[in-house]
Amino acid sequence: MFPLAVLSDIHGNSLALEVVLEDLYKRGVKNMVNLGDTLWGPLDPKGTADLLIPLNMITVGGNQDRQVYEEIDPNNHTLNYMKESLGEKEINWLRSLNPIETIDDQIIMFHGTFKDDHQYFLHDFVGEQVKLRSNQKIETSLKGRNEKLILCGHDHLPNLVRLESGKIVLNPGSVGMPAYTDDIHVDHYIENGNPYTRCSIIYQVAENDFRFEHIVLNYDFLKASEMAAKNKRDDWAYWLKTGRAY
């Protein structure tokens, strides 16, 4: 199982995904998992699916994976672009994704939280920003779970939290989207401050000892930004180009 690469929130950014996969291959990392929100966005959903689906990596569904096949907002321009870009094979793949997966009773992975893929697992809202939750609050969320490693995505912020119980929560950050604004629950924004692509690698040193590496890579983010602008999403174009929400 180890070393294990953890990817999340690719958002149809095949340009970023290509660079991440190439780097992992060079490192000799063959085992990978994906934490969802894989194809949604005004970029290259079909190209992303073509890269990802043949790898057969364990993948969980995210809120914007559901948004594609549930057609939550049929008047959404990006949704219509997705429907035009994707075929039955890709849509059925999204439908097949479970919200939670476990590996060898040691790892549990999900997109948002156990109960809601729209919720952040590691963060609470403070005005328009987010703040890391206390360890006690995170431990409470994990009550009844025995896995040592908890993998979550959704907020696009790379993070590693070690709890008093010894459990470790990892968010690898986003492969494809370094910043965004959102109005789910409350108006807020997320920004990493740079346009690079991200993933994480977990190495097992001993039975209960792990080493973690956050990977940050440059890629042709200007081309990705141009792609978003071409598909009528100037907001995405700015986020991709700057890593800033505003």
What are the sequence ranges of the domains in the chain? 4-242
CA distances from 31 to 52, 55, 243 (A): 13, 10, 28
Round to whole Å and give the CA distance between 159 and 157: 6
CATH says 4-242 is which class? alpha beta
H helices present in 109-233, as ranges: 135-141, 221-230
What's the confidence (pLDDT) of residue 207? 86
Nearest to 112 by CA among 184, 17, 191: 184
pLDDT < 70 stretches in the chain: none
Angle at CA of residue 9, ends 116 and 3, nearest 5°: 105
Q: Which residue has the tokens 């199982």?
A: 1
pLDDT per residue over 49-66, tens digit each? 999 999 999 999 999 999
What pLDDT, on the 0 to 100 scale, is given for residue 7? 99
Q: The tokens 């590996």 sit on which residue?
A: 103
Contact, 114 vs 100, CB < 8 A? yes
pTM of the model: 0.97
pLDDT at 74: 73
Q: What is the pLDDT of residue 73?
A: 75
Tell me what pLDDT residue 208 has: 84
**Is the separation of the CB atoms in 13 and 44 below 8 Å?**
yes
